[in-house]
Amino acid sequence: GFLVRAARTDRWQDWAAYGLAATAGMFTHYYFSIVIAMGCVFLLLEKRKWQALKRAAVAHCGLAVCILPALGLLLGDLAFQTSTILSRRAFTVAAFGYTFFSFIAGYAAGPSLRELHTVTPSEAIISALPWLILLVSGIVILLFNSRRNLNVGMWRQRLAVWTLLPVLLCGVLAELLVVSFKLQYVLWASLPLLIVLGHALALSLTRRSTQIAMLILFFVFGASLYNRRFDPAYHNDDAKALAGYLKSQSDQQTPIFVMACYMTEPLRYYLGNDWRIHPLPDVGFQAQHLNEALQILAPHSTGHTPFWLVYTRAYHGDPTGKFKKTILAKGLVQARTELAGIELYQGN
């Protein structure tokens, strides 16, 4: 909003407002830099002449000075992410395609986010294929019916700048910085796409085929919302419900071991610092830390000391499942309950 207004008026006060908003965005999230970069591309395409870009250039120079302190924070944060990374998700063609699929269908149509950690790209495509066919059919009908009144050239350029390029740039940055590509970092890029679809719908709403396309898309949206609300496969890992269950079944002195290790903190948040919560080392793809994890449990698995084992996000903590198979085979624990994304075992 601020950028478009400043580009149209070229007034200093509007560029100042854009600079303040962009500075706040950068200190909110590092990937806001992609928004700024896309804004620069947008200005180059819209203005094209240096004379029209002078004030924009001054505003961006001022912006660069304002966000310099964020670079110090960035280096520390990157060092933390790369040192604690568990299973980095690479930016692949499948990830690129799923990003745009999720822009329209959400996260609850086709494979769930948990399944995407374990299935192959071909398996994910097969799972999403029925929904993909419906989405593409509805979108193609909308665009075809509105092609005469929709400014295709203008929207093609703006979609490339504000929807396509941000996803590509975010993926490239993730690879260069050796961090995971995450959909939420580019979720804002879905807005131009949704605006175009809404505009296309409005231009041809009276046509029967457009109405059918609208029903197709609404069916996908509704199914996704239904799955998100009622299908546990699409629910977030429910650490809050787990904490409530433990409070009703245990006391603060009973040790709780957690795998994957980083899920210790969400559970501690809901239980409080007085509970004895311990992370177990992640076993690894070669099960190289299996013995280390078993040794931590050993003093508590003699039958004299009860304990709890929270088993969640196995794709990070126990990707081969060897730890779970071992403790069940040895009879060290017994299953107690299962919540969204979480299995709870008890040892005694």
CA atoms within 13 Å, Cβ hemisphere of 274: 5
CB contact at 8 A, 65 and 26: no
Q: Helix %, strand %, coil % for the chain, to 5?
A: 70, 5, 25
**pLDDT band at residue 296 under the 50/70/90 scheme:** very high
CB contact at 8 A, 114 and 233: yes
- Phi and psi (nearest 5°) for 255? -65, 145
- Predicted confidence (pLDDT) per residue in 44-100, tens digit: 888 878 788 899 999 999 999 999 988 877 777 777 666 655 556 678 888 899 999
**Which pLDDT belongs to residue 165?**
93
The proportion of the chain whose per-residue pLDDT surpasses 70, expressed as a percent, equals 97
**Which pLDDT belongs to residue 284?**
86
Beta bridge partners of 343: 311, 338
**Which pLDDT belongs to residue 28?**
87
**Which pLDDT belongs to residue 84?**
53
Amino acid at 57: A
- Predicted confidence (pLDDT) per residue in 5-21, tens digit: 999 999 999 999 999 99
What whole-number distance in Å separates Cα of residue 261 and Cα of residue 311? 10
What whole-number distance in Å separates Cα of residue 170 and Cα of residue 187? 11
Average pLDDT, the chain: 89
| Tokens found for residue 201 | 């719908």
What whole-number distance in Å separates Cα of residue 166 and Cα of residue 183? 11
Residue carrying structure tokens 């069916």: 219
Contacts 24+ apart (CB under 8 A), 31-34: 31/170, 31/173, 31/185, 31/186, 34/166, 34/169, 34/170, 34/173, 34/185, 34/186
Three-state secondary structure call for residue 206: coil
- Predicted confidence (pLDDT) per residue in 325-342, tens digit: 999 999 899 999 999 999
Count the neighbouring beta carbons within 10 Å of the beta carbon of residue 44: 12
**Which pLDDT belongs to residue 86?**
52
**Which pLDDT belongs to residue 92?**
84
- Predicted confidence (pLDDT) per residue in 27-39, tens digit: 988 888 899 999 9
Q: Looking at the predicted structure, is the pLDDT value of residue 1 above 80? A: no
